[in-house]
Amino acid sequence: MRNRTTFILGFLFFVSIVVIGMMANQLKINKENANENGAPTENEAPPTEVAGIAHNPPSMEDLPEGELGEAILRGYNLTNDTSTILRDEAASVEDGEARVNQLSCTSCHAGAGLDEEVSSLVGMAAVYPMYIGRSGQIVTLEERINGCMVRSMDGQKFADDDEDLDAMVAYLTYISEGIPVGAELPWRHQNSIDNLPTPNIADGEELYQKSCIACHAADGAGTGSNTGPKLWGEGSFNDGAGIARMTKMAGYIQNNMPIGAAGTLTDQEASDLAAFVLSQDRPEWGKHDKDWPAGGRPSDIMTKELRQQVKDGTINWDEVLGTKK
Site of interaction with ligand HEC (CB under 6 A): 79, 82, 103, 105, 107-110, 118-119, 121, 124, 144-145, 148-149, 152-153, 168, 188-189, 191, 211-212, 214-216, 226-231, 236-237, 241-243, 248, 252-253, 256-260, 273
Cis-peptide into 180, omega within 30 deg: no
* Residue closer to ligand HEC, measured from CB, 34 or 110: 110
Q: How far is the CB of 11 from ligand HEC (least distance, A)?
A: 43
Contacts (Cβ under 8 Å, ≥6 apart) of 8: none
Cβ closest to ligand HEC, residue 160 vs residue 318: 160
Q: 83 phi and psi, to 5 degrees? A: -70, -35
Cβ closest to ligand HEC, residue 219 vs residue 318: 219
Nearest Cα neighbor of 271 from 290, 255, 253, 289 is 253
Q: How far is the CB of 202 from ligand HEC (least distance, A)?
A: 15
Q: How far is the CB of 242 from ligand HEC (least distance, A)?
A: 3
Give the HSE-up count for residue 71: Cα atoms under 13 Å, Cβ half-sphere.
17
Which ranges of the chain does DSSP label H, i.e. alpha helix?
2-32, 48-51, 66-80, 82-88, 110-113, 124-127, 141-150, 163-174, 201-211, 213-216, 246-256, 267-278, 304-312, 317-320
Strand-pair partners of 137: 132
Of 119 and 271, which has the nearer Cβ to ligand HEC?
Answer: 119
Instruction: Provide, rounded to whole angstroms, the least separation between the CB of residue 57 and ligand HEC.
Output: 14
Sequential DSSP letters for 233-281: STTS--TTSGGGBHHHHHHHHHHH-STTSTT-S-HHHHHHHHHHHHTS-
Closest by CA position to 139, among listed 128, 149, 148, 150 = 128
Q: What angle do CA 166, 167, 172 make, to 5 degrees?
A: 95
Q: 92 vs 119, which CB is nearer to ligand HEC? A: 119
Rounded to whole angstroms, what are the CA distances from 16 to 8, 11, 22, 29? 12, 9, 10, 20
Closest to ligand HEC by CB, 173 or 309: 173
CB of 26 to ligand HEC, least distance (A): 23
Closer residue to ligand HEC (CB): 256 or 279: 256
Closest to ligand HEC by CB, 230 vs 320, is 230
Q: Which CB sits closer to ligand HEC, 84 or 256?
A: 256
Smallest separation, CB 85 to ligand HEC (Å): 11
Is residue 198 classed exposed, middle or buried when 0-12, 13-18 and 19+ CB atoms within 10 A define those classes?
middle
CB of 52 to ligand HEC, least distance (A): 19
Q: What is the CA radius of gyration of the chain?
A: 22
Helix (H, G, I), strand (E, B) or coil at 83: helix
